[in-house]
Amino acid sequence: MSLNTLPWQQLLDTQGLQCPLPLLKAKRALNHLEVGQNLKVLATDASSQKDFAVWVQLVGHTLLQNECIDGVYHYLIEKN
């Protein structure tokens, strides 16, 4: 299934921001979503791949999918 076909309730564009800002902004955005809702994050910082993978495991959210398209990292996080 493609990332573009998975539903999301909020889009967070953090392109151009460096670590740890994409993660901090995602955390803040997830606070406003309900359990089971999805946040789509766009980032250009390559280190965000490891950051998001580790962070969702620590806090108990689910990283449904991540992929890099033309230098932009697309993350889809389900709030648990």
Residues annotated catalytic, as ranges: 19
Helix (H, G, I), strand (E, B) or coil at 18: coil
Cα–Cα distance, 49 to 45 (Å, whole number): 8
Residue owning tokens 């809702």: 37
Cα–Cα distance, 6 to 59 (Å, whole number): 22
